[in-house]
Amino acid sequence: MNNYNRSMAASQSMDTSVDAGLRTFMLGIYNNMSIGLAITGLVAFFTSQSQPLMQMIYSTPLRWVVMLAPLGFVIYLSVRVMKLSPAAARLWFFTFAAVMGLSLSYIFLVYTGVSITKVFFITAASFGALSLWGYTTKKNLSAMGSFMMMGLFGIIIAMVVNIFLKSSAVDFAISAIGVVIFAGLTAWDTQRLKHSYYEIGADATMAGRVAIMGALSLYLDFLNLFLFLLRFMGGGRN
């Protein structure tokens, strides 16, 4: 019996008190994700309003630190989260969100405020619907998740290649495929996190750690879905 089937069997044997526990667990994930997104958005906006800070970031070697630091945070959390307290893991996650805000400050210079706002609300509505489907569906989404992960690696390679090709057609295709990939990952990650709750048991510390990693997963799904939709639909500044 695979992990999905074991968690389904466990969930069917749980009483309503555990259902309340699951709701609390998932609500904690969404709350941390939302706070992380808010931090990223605020840092990105206020950074973009400071010309000296923008020049310091994008006109000096500091830009490489700002670009690569978020990846370092993700790797660190992935490797170390099970050895951190939930409070420490949460602090690392929020720090990562702030650094990500620095790296995304450029979008306020490239796209109009109206465009960013419109795409954000489209992303929020799409994310909510996809996450709800992932939470409620009885269908095992593991195969879809694996396929989307392979697609993610493929799109990363395509983006690197297109740095040299500079093809608008390839860029359009990457944006469209990126939206599909992160839409699928949103549903899969939600289902995966839901069923991970039944595998944790009564270990509150472990649940706290998993909740932070879950918030990180859904945060990345939301953010990438937003960025690909922005590339696909956003109106650039003149």
Q: Give the pLDDT of residue 15.
A: 47
C-beta separation of 206 from 200 below 8 A: yes
Tell me the domain boundaries of the chain. Answer: 3-233
Collect the ranges in the chain with pLDDT lower than 70: 1-18, 202, 235, 237-238
Residue type, 229: L
DSSP 59: S
How buried is 114 (Cβ within 10 angstroms: 0-12 exposed, 13-18 middle, 19+ buried)? exposed
Q: Give the pLDDT of residue 28.
A: 94
| Neighbour tally for 113: CB within 10 Å | 10
DSSP 111: B
C-beta separation of 190 from 135 below 8 A: yes
Round to whole Å and give the CA distance between 33 and 43.
15
Q: Give the pLDDT of residue 8.
A: 52
Q: Give the pLDDT of residue 202.
A: 65
Round to whole Å and give the CA distance between 151 and 179.
11
- Tens of pLDDT, residue by residue over 41-85, are 999 999 999 999 999 988 888 989 999 999 999 999 999 999 999
C-beta separation of 185 from 221 below 8 A: yes
Q: Give the pLDDT of residue 6.
A: 52
Kindly report the pTM of this predicted structure: 0.89
State what percent of residues in the chain have pLDDT above 90. 73
How far is residue 84 CA from its own chain's centroid?
21
Q: Give the pLDDT of residue 184.
A: 97
Q: Where are the alpha helices (DSSP H) in 104-237?
A: 107-110, 113-136, 142-165, 168-200, 204-233
C-beta separation of 174 from 162 below 8 A: yes
- Say how many residues make up the chain: 238
Q: Is the dihedral of CA 54, 56, 60, 61 positive or negative?
A: negative
Instruction: Provide CB contacts within 8 A for 135, sequence distance 6+.
Output: 26, 190, 191, 194
Q: Give the pLDDT of residue 53.
A: 92
| Neighbour tally for 16: CB within 10 Å | 7
